[in-house]
Amino acid sequence: MTDKQLKITINGTEVSCEKDDTILQAAQKAGIRIPTLCNDPRLEPYGGCRLCIVEVKGINRPLPSCTTPVTPNMEVHTDNDTITRVRKNLLSLILSNHPNDCMRCEKTGDCDLQDLAYEYGVDGKRFEGEAWDLPIREDNPFITYEPNKCILCGRCVRICNEIVMAGTIDLVGRGFNSMPDTAFRKPRSLDNCEFCGQCVSTCPTGALTDRKGRGKGRSYEMTKVKTTCSYCGTGCNFFLNVRNNKVIKVTSDYDAPVNQGNLCIKGRYGYDFIHSPERITTPLIRKGSTFHEATWDEALGLIANKFKELIEKHGPEKVGGFSSSRCTNEENYLMSKWVRCAIGSNNIDNCARV
């Protein structure tokens, strides 16, 4: 163990953690689950939902594990009758002002609140009172906002301010009327929003969803295909959500080494070209003034012959290659290898150099 590490006990098991860890982080590293709704590893601890409460020996009240730092020899219990009772009460309060439309909700099967309500056997009928009855907001091309389903976890506001640093949304209103929204409740536009979809990626309920993918399938009906964004040379990873051989939407890959789940508007919403009827799917060879469809062997054979003619006539030093940052590192390497070894030229460049 290093100077930056210490040992604590969680549910009777000794675990090692970093001195700067919170109880929640220490538990997650040890594979011990603590439920939460307001926590996102990309964000600073918030302590809003209070579902992650734990008991610490020597302290006579439950503590939020996401904001409580570890201390040497700390003894923590993450689950007992008292904690379960408090969590059920908290979930009942959240659900008292939440629409009971899970059968029609876009997030069914991928909703943290739904999962926790099922786990703790809470139906939302314990506390009755006034509920929101606000219209669905679809005043932009990319994001659908259903304020009635918001639980005020603050994750959308925090990711917009802490990660994107755009400041598009904040908690507006007071008390019962508090909700995330834009300044003066104006519609989202490119003037006040980057449409990166980060708020959608972090929302634990159906309050924020991708408009382009609504009604096209549940999350469990889709196959997730991991890929690399081709719009620039950054190399962001994400998942293509595919159903019936069609890309329905893009979701974040939180383990991606480059972007940790973060995306821009192009990466998250710029996938319409995939199924565009205008895409060229067959090689075309010019014959006279028109193009004709050809096989790959015909097209590649023609290209190889043209290169041979150019090299024989002008020499390899007159031939070069220009690669693109929209290609992967491996593809750019192959381009460089081909120009240097097959052509015999060092004339290779890339748009990223500029």
Tell me the pLDDT tens digit for each residue of 87-120: 999 999 999 989 988 999 999 999 999 999 999 9
Number of domains observed in the structure of the chain: 3
Q: What is the mean pLDDT of the chain?
A: 93
**Segment 327-346 mean pLDDT:** 91
Q: Which residue has the higher pLDDT, 1 or 244?
A: 244
**Segment 10-22 mean pLDDT:** 94
pLDDT of residue 1: 61
In degrees rounded to 5, what are phi and psi of residue 248? -90, -40
**Segment 316-337 mean pLDDT:** 89
pLDDT (tens digit per residue) in 300-311: 999 999 999 999
CA distance 155 to 159: 6
SS (H, E, C) 22-38: EHHHHHHHCCCCCCCCC
Instruction: Using the 3D structure, point to which of 240, 275, 310 is the last residue of a domain.
Output: 275
Q: Are residues 61 and 192 in the same domain?
A: no
User: Which element (helix H / strand E) includes 115?
Assistant: helix 112-120
pLDDT of residue 129: 77
Instruction: Using the 3D structure, point to which of 244, 275, 306 is the last residue of a domain.
Output: 275
pLDDT (tens digit per residue) in 194-207: 999 999 999 999 99
For residue 10, the enclosing domain spans: 5-79
Q: How far is CA 244 from CA 10, 141, 216, 239, 268, in A?
A: 45, 24, 10, 16, 20
Q: Are residues 151 and 225 in the same domain?
A: yes
Side-chain-facing half-sphere of 316: CA atoms under 13 Å:
11
pLDDT of residue 235: 85
pLDDT (tens digit per residue) in 182-191: 999 999 999 9
Q: Are residues 252 and 324 in the same domain?
A: no
Name residues whose C-beta falls within 8 Å of residue 265's C-beta, 6 or more positions apart in sequence.
142, 194, 195, 196, 197
Contact call for residues 125 and 188 (beta carbons, < 8 A)? no
**Segment 75-80 mean pLDDT:** 96
Q: Are residues 142 and 260 in the same domain?
A: yes
Residue 124 lies in a domain: no
Residue 271 lies in a domain: yes
Q: Are residues 175 and 254 in the same domain?
A: yes
Q: Are residues 143 and 229 in the same domain?
A: yes
Instruction: Using the 3D structure, point to which of 49, 79, 109 is the last residue of a domain.
Output: 79
User: Which element (helix H / strand E) includes 336?
Assistant: helix 329-337
pLDDT over 80 (residue 2): no
Q: Are residues 25 and 52 in the same domain?
A: yes
Q: Are residues 262 and 314 in the same domain?
A: no
Question: Taking CA 299 as the corner, what is the angle to CA 294 and CA 302, rounded to the nearest 5 degrees?
Answer: 130
pLDDT over 70 (residue 6): yes
pLDDT over 90 (residue 232): no
pLDDT (tens digit per residue) in 250-292: 999 999 999 999 999 999 999 999 999 998 989 999 999 999 9
pLDDT of residue 329: 81
pLDDT over 70 (residue 354): no
Contact call for residues 283 and 291 (beta carbons, < 8 A)? no
Torsion, Cα of 74, 79, 81, 85 (10° steps): 110
Share of the chain above pLDDT 70, in %: 99
pLDDT of residue 180: 96
Residue 122 lies in a domain: no
pLDDT of residue 342: 92
**Segment 62-88 mean pLDDT:** 96
Q: Are residues 289 and 344 in the same domain?
A: yes
- pLDDT category at 152 given cuts 50, 70, 90 is very high
Residue 340 lies in a domain: yes
Q: Are residues 69 and 140 in the same domain?
A: no
